[in-house]
Homo-oligomer: A and B are copies of this chain.
Amino acid sequence: MGLTRSEIFTEEQNLLASLLKAVAHPARIAILQRIILSNTCICGDLVGELGLAQATISQHLKELKSAGLIQGTIEGVSVCYCINPKVWKLLENRLGEFLGSYKGATECC
């Protein structure tokens, strides 16, 4: 019926899926790359650099923030975003565990 049946999966699976979903969009990847690049945080610069409307960027930022991947603080008239190290590391660890659990050793199909 169009909604994910989270209740039948483990906490682990749901957490990883929700973090990945937040990253799984080219615009949000671009935003994250941009934030990482200039580790002095930016904000509305994104609107000029990506080719998306201000409302759209703001929405993507909101999604990244609600996933916990970034955090924003008000900096005078503009807002300063940066990576949330804790959640970033969490994603790195969980994902590394998951991806690393496959050892391409035994051929199968």
Residues of A within 8 A of B (CB): 4-6, 8-10, 13-14, 16-18, 20-21, 23-30, 32-33, 36, 39-41, 50-52, 71-73, 80-83, 85, 88-89, 91-92, 95, 98-102, 104-106, 108-109
Known contacts A71-B109, A108-B40; decide if A17 and B25 are in contact (CB<8 Å): yes
Name the residue on B nearest A91 (C-beta): B99
- In the complex, which residues of chain B have a beta carbon less than 8 angstroms from the beta carbon of A81? 109
- Pairwise interchain contact B88-A8, C-beta atoms closer than 8 A: no
- Pairwise interchain contact B26-A24, C-beta atoms closer than 8 A: no
- Pairwise interchain contact B109-A52, C-beta atoms closer than 8 A: no
* Complex copy number for this chain: 2
Closest 4 CB pairs of A and B: A20-B24, A9-B26, A82-B108, A21-B24
Q: How far is the CA of A27 from the CA of B20 in the complex (A)?
A: 13
- In the complex, which residues of chain B have a beta carbon less than 8 angstroms from the beta carbon of A104? 83, 85, 88-89
Which of A5, A20, A51, A89 lies at the interface centre, i.e. has the most chain B CB atoms within 10 A of its CB?
Answer: A20
